[in-house]
Amino acid sequence: MNRTSWPLTIVIISISLTISFFLWSIGIYFFFLPIIFLPFLRFVKFKQRGFKTKVCLVCELPSDGNYCSRCGTKISS
Per-residue tens of pLDDT for the chain, all 77 residues? 556 667 888 888 888 788 778 877 888 766 655 666 777 777 776 665 666 778 888 888 888 778 888 888 888 76
| Beta strand pairing call for 62-63 and 54-55 | antiparallel
**Shared domain check, 61 and 77:** yes
CA-closest candidate to residue 32, choices 41, 44, 23, 42:
23
- Which structural domain range is residue 72 located in? 47-77
Phi, psi angle pair for 17, to nearest 5°: -65, -40
**Shared domain check, 51 and 40:** no
When divided into structural domains, the chain yields a total of 2
Residue 2 Cα distances to 6, 12, 30, angstroms = 8, 16, 29
CA 23 to chain CA centroid, nearest Å: 24
